[in-house]
């Protein structure tokens, strides 16, 4: 099976020894997307809704580079620092996934890279 590394300047560059995503056959696996501005590399920390929106926008950009859309996503994992923010994150998530509703897990974690409040990854089938 052919595997291709996914890399785009429309999402933040990897901050370690990993790829933004991998396309293996007809499947796309994204790395977790932090709420970072792809142009400046700065972490968005305005509020949790802005942070979730940026993470999802970055996810969408990685998927697009792989030839996929949000409609192709079959599984999403959302990592959040504070489960009390789930409602706000879920509201923004619904802006991106409204008619198409992939399987999803949401997990509260002790800490995320760069002390972000949210990180989102996905698996898509193209």
- pLDDT digits 0-9 by tens, 7-24: 999 999 988 899 999 999
pLDDT of 79: 98
Q: Please, which pLDDT band fits residue 78 given cuts at 50, 70 and 90? A: very high
DSSP state letters, 65-111: HTT--GGGEEEEEEEES-GGGHHHHHHHHHHHSSS---EEEEEE-S-
Q: Which domain holds residue 119?
A: 3-125
Contact 102, 76 (CB under 8 A): yes
- Burial pattern 73-84, b for ≥16 Cβ within 10 A else e, equals beebbbbbbeee
Cα–Cα distance between 123 and 77 in angstroms, integer?
A: 9
Structural domains in the chain (count): 1
> Residue 55 belongs to a domain with what CATH number?
3.30.1330.40
Residue 118 in this model has a pLDDT that exceeds 90: yes
């Amino acid at each position: 099976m052919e595997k291709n590394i996914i890399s785009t300047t429309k999402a933040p560059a990897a901050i370690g020894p990993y790829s933004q995503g991998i396309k293996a056959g007809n499947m796309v696996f994204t790395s977790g997307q932090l709420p970072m501005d792809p142009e400046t590399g700065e972490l968005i920390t305005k509020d949790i809704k802005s942070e979730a929106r940026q993470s999802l926008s970055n996810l969408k950009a990685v998927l697009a580079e792989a030839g996929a859309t949000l409609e192709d996503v079959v599984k999403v994992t959302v990592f959040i620092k504070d489960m009390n923010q789930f409602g706000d994150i879920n509201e923004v998530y619904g802006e991106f996934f409204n008619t198409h509703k992939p399987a999803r897990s949401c997990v509260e974690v002790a800490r995320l890279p760069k002390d972000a409040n949210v990180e989102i990854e996905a698996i898509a089938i193209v």
